[in-house]
Amino acid sequence: MKKIKLGNSELEVGEISLGCMRIHELGKREAANVIENAMEVGVDLFDHADIYGSGKSEEVFSEAISMNDDVREKMKLQTKCGIRKGFFDFSREHILESVEGSLRRLKTDYIDSLLLHRPDALMEPEEVAEAFSILRESGKVRHFGVSNQNPMQIELLQKYLDEDLIVNQMQLSVVHTPMIDAGFNVNMSHDPAIVRDSNVLDYCRLNDITVQAWSPFQHGMIEGPFVGNKEFPEVNAKLQELAEKKGVTDSAIATAWILRHPATIQPVVGTMNQQRLRDIVKASDIELTREEWYELYRAAGNELP
Protein backbone atom coordinates (compact mmCIF):
# COMPACT_ATOMS: atom_id res chain seq x y z
CA MET A 1 0.00 0.00 0.00
CA LYS A 2 1.12 3.56 -0.69
CA LYS A 3 2.31 5.57 2.30
CA ILE A 4 1.43 9.10 3.34
CA LYS A 5 2.58 11.42 6.12
CA LEU A 6 0.06 12.74 8.61
CA GLY A 7 0.12 16.52 8.42
CA ASN A 8 3.64 17.88 8.70
CA SER A 9 4.68 15.19 11.20
CA GLU A 10 7.13 12.35 10.77
CA LEU A 11 4.31 9.80 11.08
CA GLU A 12 4.31 7.74 7.88
CA VAL A 13 1.33 5.44 7.55
CA GLY A 14 -0.60 3.45 4.99
CA GLU A 15 -2.98 5.68 3.05
CA ILE A 16 -5.95 3.62 4.28
CA SER A 17 -6.53 3.15 8.01
CA LEU A 18 -8.75 0.85 10.06
CA GLY A 19 -11.46 2.24 12.31
CA CYS A 20 -11.89 0.07 15.40
CA MET A 21 -15.31 1.22 16.61
CA ARG A 22 -16.85 -2.25 16.24
CA ILE A 23 -13.94 -4.46 17.25
CA HIS A 24 -15.43 -4.94 20.73
CA GLU A 25 -18.13 -7.05 19.07
CA LEU A 26 -15.55 -9.71 18.18
CA GLY A 27 -14.00 -12.50 20.20
CA LYS A 28 -10.31 -12.34 21.04
CA ARG A 29 -9.15 -14.71 18.27
CA GLU A 30 -11.37 -13.09 15.66
CA ALA A 31 -10.16 -9.62 16.65
CA ALA A 32 -6.54 -10.79 16.44
CA ASN A 33 -7.17 -12.11 12.94
CA VAL A 34 -8.66 -8.77 11.88
CA ILE A 35 -5.65 -6.82 13.17
CA GLU A 36 -3.07 -9.22 11.75
CA ASN A 37 -4.84 -9.26 8.39
CA ALA A 38 -4.86 -5.46 8.33
CA MET A 39 -1.13 -5.25 8.96
CA GLU A 40 -0.43 -7.89 6.33
CA VAL A 41 -2.05 -5.70 3.67
CA GLY A 42 -0.30 -2.51 4.78
CA VAL A 43 -2.83 -0.98 7.17
CA ASP A 44 -0.83 0.25 10.15
CA LEU A 45 -2.89 3.13 11.60
CA PHE A 46 -5.63 1.96 13.92
CA ASP A 47 -8.26 4.55 14.83
CA HIS A 48 -9.91 4.37 18.26
CA ALA A 49 -11.97 6.57 20.57
CA ASP A 50 -12.59 6.36 24.28
CA ILE A 51 -16.33 5.99 23.64
CA TYR A 52 -16.11 3.08 21.19
CA GLY A 53 -17.81 0.24 22.98
CA SER A 54 -17.60 2.39 26.13
CA GLY A 55 -13.87 1.72 26.13
CA LYS A 56 -14.22 -1.97 25.35
CA SER A 57 -12.89 -1.59 21.79
CA GLU A 58 -9.50 -0.40 23.07
CA GLU A 59 -9.39 -3.27 25.57
CA VAL A 60 -10.29 -5.94 23.02
CA PHE A 61 -7.72 -4.55 20.58
CA SER A 62 -4.79 -4.76 23.00
CA GLU A 63 -5.81 -8.10 24.48
CA ALA A 64 -6.28 -9.66 21.04
CA ILE A 65 -2.71 -9.00 19.99
CA SER A 66 -1.14 -9.41 23.44
CA MET A 67 0.23 -5.88 23.17
CA ASN A 68 3.98 -5.69 23.69
CA ASP A 69 6.87 -3.52 22.53
CA ASP A 70 7.55 -5.60 19.41
CA VAL A 71 3.94 -5.37 18.26
CA ARG A 72 3.58 -1.73 19.27
CA GLU A 73 6.49 -0.48 17.17
CA LYS A 74 4.89 -1.90 14.02
CA MET A 75 1.70 0.15 14.29
CA LYS A 76 0.39 3.65 14.87
CA LEU A 77 -2.39 4.13 17.42
CA GLN A 78 -4.82 7.01 17.24
CA THR A 79 -7.60 7.67 19.70
CA LYS A 80 -10.14 10.41 20.36
CA CYS A 81 -11.67 12.03 23.41
CA GLY A 82 -14.21 14.70 24.28
CA ILE A 83 -17.61 13.01 23.88
CA ARG A 84 -19.37 12.21 27.13
CA LYS A 85 -22.91 11.06 27.80
CA GLY A 86 -25.10 13.98 26.76
CA PHE A 87 -22.35 16.57 26.36
CA PHE A 88 -18.90 17.37 24.99
CA ASP A 89 -15.96 18.01 27.28
CA PHE A 90 -12.61 19.53 26.27
CA SER A 91 -11.65 20.41 29.83
CA ARG A 92 -8.07 19.87 30.91
CA GLU A 93 -9.15 17.31 33.50
CA HIS A 94 -11.22 15.26 31.10
CA ILE A 95 -8.59 15.19 28.35
CA LEU A 96 -5.91 14.00 30.79
CA GLU A 97 -8.23 11.46 32.41
CA SER A 98 -9.38 10.15 29.03
CA VAL A 99 -5.83 9.64 27.79
CA GLU A 100 -4.87 7.77 30.95
CA GLY A 101 -7.83 5.47 30.37
CA SER A 102 -6.91 4.86 26.73
CA LEU A 103 -3.28 4.14 27.60
CA ARG A 104 -4.39 1.65 30.23
CA ARG A 105 -6.88 -0.09 27.95
CA LEU A 106 -4.52 -0.16 24.95
CA LYS A 107 -1.65 -1.37 27.16
CA THR A 108 0.78 1.14 25.71
CA ASP A 109 2.96 3.96 27.01
CA TYR A 110 2.04 6.43 24.29
CA ILE A 111 -0.55 7.43 21.73
CA ASP A 112 0.73 8.44 18.30
CA SER A 113 -2.11 10.88 17.65
CA LEU A 114 -4.89 12.16 19.90
CA LEU A 115 -7.92 13.84 18.33
CA LEU A 116 -10.56 16.00 19.95
CA HIS A 117 -13.82 14.26 19.09
CA ARG A 118 -16.56 16.70 17.94
CA PRO A 119 -16.37 20.43 18.80
CA ASP A 120 -17.08 21.56 22.37
CA ALA A 121 -18.88 24.93 22.35
CA LEU A 122 -17.53 25.55 25.87
CA MET A 123 -13.93 24.88 24.88
CA GLU A 124 -11.36 27.07 26.58
CA PRO A 125 -8.35 26.75 24.26
CA GLU A 126 -5.88 27.65 26.99
CA GLU A 127 -7.05 24.60 28.96
CA VAL A 128 -6.73 22.32 25.95
CA ALA A 129 -3.25 23.70 25.25
CA GLU A 130 -2.23 23.02 28.84
CA ALA A 131 -3.47 19.44 28.64
CA PHE A 132 -1.70 18.89 25.31
CA SER A 133 1.52 20.31 26.71
CA ILE A 134 1.40 17.97 29.71
CA LEU A 135 0.72 14.98 27.49
CA ARG A 136 3.42 15.85 24.98
CA GLU A 137 6.11 16.59 27.57
CA SER A 138 5.34 13.38 29.44
CA GLY A 139 5.64 11.40 26.20
CA LYS A 140 2.11 10.05 26.51
CA VAL A 141 0.89 11.65 23.27
CA ARG A 142 3.16 12.46 20.33
CA HIS A 143 0.82 14.39 18.03
CA PHE A 144 -2.58 16.05 18.16
CA GLY A 145 -5.50 16.70 15.88
CA VAL A 146 -9.23 17.29 15.79
CA SER A 147 -12.35 15.72 14.38
CA ASN A 148 -15.34 17.38 12.73
CA GLN A 149 -14.04 20.93 13.17
CA ASN A 150 -14.19 23.92 10.85
CA PRO A 151 -11.28 26.28 10.09
CA MET A 152 -12.11 28.92 12.68
CA GLN A 153 -12.43 26.33 15.43
CA ILE A 154 -9.05 24.97 14.44
CA GLU A 155 -7.55 28.47 14.26
CA LEU A 156 -8.84 29.32 17.72
CA LEU A 157 -7.24 26.24 19.20
CA GLN A 158 -4.04 26.50 17.16
CA LYS A 159 -3.45 30.03 18.49
CA TYR A 160 -2.64 28.59 21.92
CA LEU A 161 -0.73 25.47 20.91
CA ASP A 162 3.03 25.00 20.65
CA GLU A 163 2.68 22.32 17.96
CA ASP A 164 0.74 22.02 14.72
CA LEU A 165 -2.46 20.02 14.58
CA ILE A 166 -1.91 17.24 12.03
CA VAL A 167 -5.35 15.69 11.44
CA ASN A 168 -8.97 16.72 10.99
CA GLN A 169 -11.29 13.73 10.76
CA MET A 170 -14.41 14.53 8.69
CA GLN A 171 -17.24 12.55 7.16
CA LEU A 172 -16.72 12.04 3.43
CA SER A 173 -17.97 9.59 0.84
CA VAL A 174 -19.12 9.85 -2.76
CA VAL A 175 -22.70 10.32 -1.46
CA HIS A 176 -21.70 12.76 1.29
CA THR A 177 -19.77 15.59 -0.34
CA PRO A 178 -20.57 18.97 1.28
CA MET A 179 -16.81 19.64 1.58
CA ILE A 180 -16.67 19.55 -2.21
CA ASP A 181 -20.07 20.75 -3.44
CA ALA A 182 -19.80 24.44 -2.64
CA GLY A 183 -16.53 24.69 -4.51
CA PHE A 184 -18.35 23.94 -7.74
CA ASN A 185 -21.17 26.39 -7.09
CA VAL A 186 -19.40 29.65 -6.34
CA ASN A 187 -21.59 32.78 -6.43
CA MET A 188 -24.76 30.79 -7.05
CA SER A 189 -27.99 30.93 -5.08
CA HIS A 190 -29.12 27.29 -4.90
CA ASP A 191 -28.55 24.85 -2.05
CA PRO A 192 -25.26 23.27 -3.22
CA ALA A 193 -23.67 26.73 -3.14
CA ILE A 194 -24.06 26.96 0.63
CA VAL A 195 -20.69 26.80 2.36
CA ARG A 196 -21.45 24.55 5.33
CA ASP A 197 -17.95 24.07 6.70
CA SER A 198 -16.04 27.31 6.03
CA ASN A 199 -14.09 25.66 3.19
CA VAL A 200 -12.46 23.18 5.55
CA LEU A 201 -10.97 21.02 2.80
CA ASP A 202 -9.05 23.89 1.21
CA TYR A 203 -8.07 25.16 4.64
CA CYS A 204 -6.59 21.79 5.60
CA ARG A 205 -4.66 21.64 2.33
CA LEU A 206 -3.26 25.12 2.90
CA ASN A 207 -2.20 24.26 6.44
CA ASP A 208 -0.82 20.75 5.90
CA ILE A 209 -3.56 19.07 7.94
CA THR A 210 -4.48 15.57 6.81
CA VAL A 211 -8.20 15.04 6.33
CA GLN A 212 -9.24 11.57 7.44
CA ALA A 213 -12.52 10.46 5.87
CA TRP A 214 -14.81 8.63 8.26
CA SER A 215 -17.79 6.55 7.06
CA PRO A 216 -16.52 6.31 3.47
CA PHE A 217 -19.25 3.77 2.62
CA GLN A 218 -22.10 5.27 4.64
CA HIS A 219 -25.00 7.52 3.76
CA GLY A 220 -26.54 9.99 6.17
CA MET A 221 -24.61 10.12 9.41
CA ILE A 222 -24.63 6.46 10.44
CA GLU A 223 -27.73 5.30 8.59
CA GLY A 224 -26.08 2.42 6.80
CA PRO A 225 -24.02 1.64 3.71
CA PHE A 226 -24.83 3.03 0.28
CA VAL A 227 -22.57 0.49 -1.45
CA GLY A 228 -24.80 -2.32 -2.68
CA ASN A 229 -27.89 -0.48 -1.41
CA LYS A 230 -30.80 -0.56 -3.88
CA GLU A 231 -31.86 2.91 -2.72
CA PHE A 232 -28.80 4.27 -4.56
CA PRO A 233 -29.13 2.63 -7.99
CA GLU A 234 -27.22 5.13 -10.13
CA VAL A 235 -24.08 5.39 -8.05
CA ASN A 236 -24.01 1.62 -7.48
CA ALA A 237 -24.33 0.98 -11.20
CA LYS A 238 -21.36 3.25 -11.85
CA LEU A 239 -19.36 1.71 -8.99
CA GLN A 240 -20.02 -1.75 -10.42
CA GLU A 241 -19.15 -0.65 -13.95
CA LEU A 242 -15.79 0.73 -12.84
CA ALA A 243 -15.16 -2.24 -10.54
CA GLU A 244 -15.56 -4.65 -13.44
CA LYS A 245 -13.41 -2.46 -15.66
CA LYS A 246 -10.54 -2.37 -13.16
CA GLY A 247 -10.89 -5.85 -11.69
CA VAL A 248 -11.69 -4.81 -8.12
CA THR A 249 -14.78 -4.50 -5.89
CA ASP A 250 -17.29 -1.68 -5.70
CA SER A 251 -15.99 -0.76 -2.23
CA ALA A 252 -12.47 -0.43 -3.64
CA ILE A 253 -13.79 1.99 -6.25
CA ALA A 254 -15.63 4.02 -3.59
CA THR A 255 -12.33 4.21 -1.69
CA ALA A 256 -10.35 5.08 -4.82
CA TRP A 257 -12.75 7.98 -5.40
CA ILE A 258 -11.61 9.50 -2.09
CA LEU A 259 -7.94 8.72 -2.70
CA ARG A 260 -8.08 10.39 -6.13
CA HIS A 261 -8.60 13.81 -4.56
CA PRO A 262 -5.29 15.74 -4.49
CA ALA A 263 -5.74 16.64 -0.80
CA THR A 264 -4.21 13.24 0.14
CA ILE A 265 -7.26 12.23 2.16
CA GLN A 266 -6.94 9.11 4.32
CA PRO A 267 -10.06 6.91 4.41
CA VAL A 268 -10.88 5.35 7.77
CA VAL A 269 -12.65 2.09 6.97
CA GLY A 270 -14.49 0.24 9.70
CA THR A 271 -14.96 -3.21 8.25
CA MET A 272 -14.22 -6.17 10.48
CA ASN A 273 -14.46 -8.53 7.50
CA GLN A 274 -10.95 -9.67 6.56
CA GLN A 275 -11.61 -10.37 2.90
CA ARG A 276 -13.49 -7.11 2.47
CA LEU A 277 -10.53 -5.19 3.86
CA ARG A 278 -8.20 -7.03 1.48
CA ASP A 279 -10.48 -6.00 -1.36
CA ILE A 280 -10.74 -2.39 -0.19
CA VAL A 281 -6.99 -1.79 0.07
CA LYS A 282 -6.60 -2.61 -3.61
CA ALA A 283 -7.85 0.96 -4.08
CA SER A 284 -4.29 2.05 -3.29
CA ASP A 285 -3.20 0.64 -6.64
CA ILE A 286 -5.99 2.29 -8.62
CA GLU A 287 -6.07 5.83 -9.91
CA LEU A 288 -9.37 6.92 -11.35
CA THR A 289 -9.21 9.21 -14.32
CA ARG A 290 -10.57 12.71 -13.96
CA GLU A 291 -13.54 11.70 -16.09
CA GLU A 292 -14.27 8.62 -13.97
CA TRP A 293 -14.08 10.67 -10.76
CA TYR A 294 -16.63 13.15 -12.09
CA GLU A 295 -18.86 10.36 -13.41
CA LEU A 296 -19.10 8.93 -9.89
CA TYR A 297 -19.72 12.34 -8.38
CA ARG A 298 -22.63 12.92 -10.78
CA ALA A 299 -23.96 9.38 -10.38
CA ALA A 300 -24.29 10.11 -6.65
CA GLY A 301 -26.89 12.75 -7.52
CA ASN A 302 -24.67 15.81 -7.77
CA GLU A 303 -25.10 18.24 -10.63
CA LEU A 304 -22.30 20.33 -12.08
CA PRO A 305 -23.18 23.99 -12.75
Eight-class DSSP state of 225: B
CA distances from 85 to 78, 97, 270 (A): 21, 15, 23
Contact 255, 267 (CB under 8 A): yes
Phi (first) and psi of residue 244, to 5 degrees: -65, -40
Which among 52, 110, 160, 203 is annotated as catalytic?
52
Q: Which residues of 150-175 are buried (b: 16+ CB within 10 A; e: fewer)?
A: bbebbeebbeeeebebbbbbbbbbbb
Do 225 and 218 form a contact (C-beta atoms < 8 A)?
Answer: yes
Is residue 79 within a helix (H) or strand (E), and if so which, with residue range?
strand 76-81
Residue 160 falls in the annotated catalytic set:
no
The DSSP secondary-structure symbol of 160 reads: T
d(CA 14, CA 255): 14
Query: How far, in whole angstroms, is CA 125 from its chain's centroid?
Result: 23
Helices 125-137, 92-106: inter-axial angle, 10-degree rounding = 40
DSSP, collapsed to helix, strand or coil, labels residue 11 as coil
Active site (catalytic) residues: 52
